Amino acid sequence: MLHMRVIAPTERTGAVRDLLLDAPGATHVTVLPGVAVQPPGDVVEADVARESVDDLLGQLCALGVDSAGGVTLELIDTTLSDAADAAEEAAPGDPQDAVIWDEVVARTGEESRFSVSFQAFLTIACLLAAVGAITDSPVTVVGAMVLGPEFGPLAAVAVGAVLRRGDLVRRGAFALAAGFPLAMVVTALASLLLDATGLLSTAQLADLDQVGFIYEVGPFSLIVALLAGAAGMLSLTSAKSAALVGVFISVTTVPAAAFASVALVEGRYLQALESAIQLAVNLVGIVVAAAVVLLLARRPRRGSRKLSAG
């Protein structure tokens, strides 16, 4: 369940209380008159089953609570209450399948920002992938795939496209368009340094039995990207966020970007081109599949509003 705290203007407190009392899946309703100071108003709290949250948020927004007050959601780890058990039984659907659109937008909006930490993680991931390619070490490449933060911007592009949120699309696209080239430039410079010290030679790239999947583009490149994009978006829209780790391991975005830089420095232009194509196929496939999952999950919401990306 989720704990919902609503700050409502005094004149709308009664409507908010009645809404929570009548909602299936809501319980432990509490009203604290005059407690809120900034913004001023009353505080109404309730524990709400995940399946009921999205509809309640839409109705609260229809009351104008989001503009005149505020709504906060917090995850409840443990609840010992017969009333809570009854509320979860009364809520329609399954909590694992419930989509809270405000939560999806907030998560993708936050994780898609182009920041120093995002660029640092992406650059380190590319450097690790380059080392894995040079040493023909799939373990190192997998480590780089897990470290890469690129799914956040990709998810933001998909969410923005489905919800017609140009700000999310622009934010995610900018993070990808700026982040990958910068990481690839740093990787190329590191390759030049390795080349100058004798740790890297073009002969090392001629026989890569273990990591050839990085630049070998084929039908399964797109299939894997589509499956990964679908799984990643399902994990974002449901309570199965741990599945994102599996998504990172399955796609070769970071390794392809890293290997393109290394191959280009070593004059292996065909491999560099193939790696670039592999990168493009994975990026496009993930976004398309993620958008399809969102379209299938989307449904009209009462009192819907333009969701904030945070």
Given a cut of 60, whether residue 243 has pLDDT beyond it is no
Residue 8's pLDDT is what?
A: 95
List pLDDT tens digits, range 125-137. Answer: 999 999 988 888 8
Class of domain 2-98: alpha beta
* DSSP state letters, 171-228: HHHHHHHHHHHHHHHHHHHHHHHHHHTTS--GGGGT--SSSGGGT---HHHHHHHHHH
Rounded CA gap, 77 and 69, in Å? 26
Highest mean pLDDT among 143-147, 172-176, 269-273, 301-305: 172-176
**Residue the block writes with tokens 């999205």:** 54
pLDDT value of residue 283: 94
- Per the CB < 8 A criterion, the answer to whether 160 and 169 are in contact is yes
Which tokens sit at 223? 């299939």
How far apart are alpha carbons 275 and 264 in whole angstroms?
10
pLDDT over threshold 70, residue 310: no
With 70 as the cut, is the pLDDT of residue 281 above it?
yes
Q: How confident is the model at residue 212 (pLDDT cuts 50, 70, 90)?
A: confident
Answer yes or no: is pLDDT of 228 > 60: yes
Q: Where are the domains of the chain?
A: 2-98, 103-297
Q: Which residues pair with 5 in a beta bridge?
A: 45, 72
Nearest one of 49, 145, 140 to 89, comparing CA atoms: 49
For β-strands 26-36 and 2-8, DSSP reports them as unpaired
- Quote the CA–CA distance of 230 and 10 in Å, as a whole number: 44
Would you state the structure tokens that stand for residue 151, as one six-digit string? 């799914």
Residue keyed to tokens 């911007």: 153
Q: What is the pLDDT of residue 12?
A: 94
- Which tokens belong to 285? 């496939």
Check: CB of residue 111 under 8 Å from CB of residue 155: yes
Instruction: Assign 64 to helix, strand or coil.
Output: coil
Rg of the chain over all Cα atoms, to the nearest angstrom: 24
Task: Give residue 303's pLDDT.
Answer: 40
Residue 169, class by beta-carbon neighbours within 10 Å (0-12 exposed, 13-18 middle, 19+ buried)?
buried
Give the pTM: 0.80
* pLDDT for position 100: 85
CB 190 within 8 A of CB 131: no
